[in-house]
Chains A and B, each alone.
Chain A
Amino acid sequence: MTPSPVTPPPVAPFVIDVRELRTHLVTRWGTVRAVDGVSFAIGEGETLGLVGESGSGKSMTCLSLVRLVPRPAARILGGQVLLDGLDVLTRSEDEMRRIRGRRIGMILQDPMSSLNPVFSIGMQMREPVALYHGLRGAALTDRAVALLAAVRIPSPAQRLRAFPHQLSGGMRQRVVGAMAIAAPPRLLIADEPTTSLDLTIQAQYLGLLKELQQRHRFALIFVTHNLGIVAKICDRVAVMYAGRIVEMGPVRRLFTRPAHPYSRALLESIPRLGARAERLTAIEGQPPDLARLPGGCAFAPRCPHVMERCRVEAPPERPVGDGHVARCWLETPA
């Protein structure tokens, strides 16, 4: 376990480069633009936090990257998803199956149901490892044990014989993590993996993720509601609202100088210890109905700084600082 040097490599070609991704859902109530022109890029060993309200398109964006959007309602309509320079969206379904797990790993939210209850941990661990590395017999078991050890599971060789119900939520999530890094992947997507874990376990798990990332240098997308976690483990953060990234930038900069009123409101809604505010600031109004978006900026109906222009024309993405972009007319001189 020699950790590789911590300094990130020079900003080489990105591991994942998403350009103008659009995924729409066709429902009885109309077409929902779940992902509506999302672009971002992540380098090796870098972590992007994806934050936003429920229904803002975070999960749909992630599922689009591996082309597992819920069929038949959802359709990826356009854009590019370049994984090490090659577009994932143009691959055949067979090629896609070899990309999933091997090159893009994903960890889901619910550790209680993310393992098959009828098979032992060992049987479930061996399957992806055999698939990715073509190992069999003792070598296969050794690799499975090594993976469990890598996610800090005590006495991993014994744990191979355990069934999912015999492990705690934190342990199960570690097993899922071990399976997700079995390849190891180039990109790991973690969709709120710690939401259902308790706080101390959460901290351990996040530490573990960072450690694995340093060892394997994968790009990490961390989807969460929890801005505290973003501050702790992400290099950059993208704020999503109504299917778009409304602001994206380095964590420190975006947290201290948010440019978009929505990001500002999100940050103000975090309770702070010792702060004098009597009440927490809630964001006025409801999240928009994605099937009936207003013509201009989607946030306009809830925005305290709304202007005439906002209701007519959607603001384009503009740089507002070093590596910091936002979609807001306030930041764009007319």
Chain B
Amino acid sequence: MPAEPAAFALPETAVPAAASRGWRLPIFPLGVIGLFLLVALVAPLLGLPDPHAQSLRNRFKPPVWEDAGSWKHPLGTDRLGRDMLSRIVWGSRISLSAGVITVLLASAFGAAVGLTAGYYGGRVDAVLMRVTDATMSFPVILLALILAVTVGPSFTNVVVAIAVILWARYARVMRGQVLTLMQLDFIAQARLAGAGAWRIITRHLVPNTLGTLLVLVTLQIGYVIIVEASLSFLGAGIPPPTPAWGSMIAEGRDVVTSAWWVSLFPGLAILLVVLAFNLLGDWLRDTFDPKLRQL
């Protein structure tokens, strides 16, 4: 500022950085997630070919921009002549619902465990946290493989296998938050005003941890989608012929040098969705809870 400095004017830097940055919505992540959600919801109305319809004469048709491609199959076809675009659209239903359902189950259970452990403390806390530690030390993929081998692979088993282990993260994070909150006077003040355990948990602890929970849920959806895809890739996830992105990649891996589109497009779909959820989670964290860098 070349003008004479006003004696009482605040320097520019006095404006808090957060305030000057303003409220910027994350367009890209919201757009990608919104698009995939919309497409998954209205998949039957899109007029796409049946994702299960086979046509051996049309095997390994390349995407439309290749010489042999056509608008009949914009993203080409797979080994059995099924339309790739249609399969990716229908596969988004599997990936997104697996991600959301698993994370909702895991977060509800984990949050309840964490709240109980943090609120009651002492022996309750010790027992619940040891169970949590034990759970966290168990690999998700291994449990899912065991379930797939013994009970058989299915959507339900994938969700159960991931949720049964994923809740532990929520329990840990929630317990940490609750322990911090319990030190604050408003909890003591609520108790002094005659509030019981239920009231303190629902009115004071849960509302103050929702931000963290939301951040963790968003970040975990991406993670769950990856795990589900990995399980499907390994054949322990959603069984064929249901289109799942993981198993689609697996089907294309032998022909990746000649028919690269069979593996590439489902892979891109996973990449886009997971990236979008992670970016959204980061944004939520920075907006609601800048202290939570470690999540």
Contact = CB atoms under 8 A, between A and B. Distances in A.
Interface stretch (B134-142, B143-151, B185-193, B235-243): B185-193
Contacts of A118: 207-208
B194 A99 contact: yes
A101 B194 contact: yes
A104 to B, nearest CB: 8
A72 B189 CA distance: 19
A108 B189 CA distance: 7
Interface string A116-144: 11110000000110010000000000000
Contacts of B196: 97
A180 B191 CA distance: 12
How many chain B residues sit at the interface, stated as a range, is 10 to 19
Given A108-B185, A110-B185, A113-B186, A66 B122 contact: no
Contacts of B72: none
Given A109-B185, A113-B186, A127-B203, A179 B208 contact: no
Given A98-B194, A113-B184, A118-B207, A176 B122 contact: no
B185 A105 contact: no
B52 interface: no
Contacts of A117: 186, 208
Interface in B172-210: 184-186, 188-196, 203-204, 207-208
A144 to B, nearest CB: 14
B159 to A, nearest CB: 31
A119 B207 contact: yes
A100 B207 CA distance: 23
A110 to B, nearest CB: 5
A102 B194 contact: yes
B193 A116 contact: no
A38 interface: no
A106 B194 CA distance: 11
Nearest to A182: B193
A168 interface: no
Nearest to A102: B194
Interface of B: 122, 184-186, 188-196, 203-204, 207-208
Given A71-B122, A100-B191, 17 more contacts: A66-B192, A68-B191, A99-B194, A100-B193, A105-B192, A108-B185, A113-B184, A113-B185, A113-B186, A114-B185, A114-B186, A115-B186, A115-B189, A116-B203, A116-B208, A128-B194, A131-B194
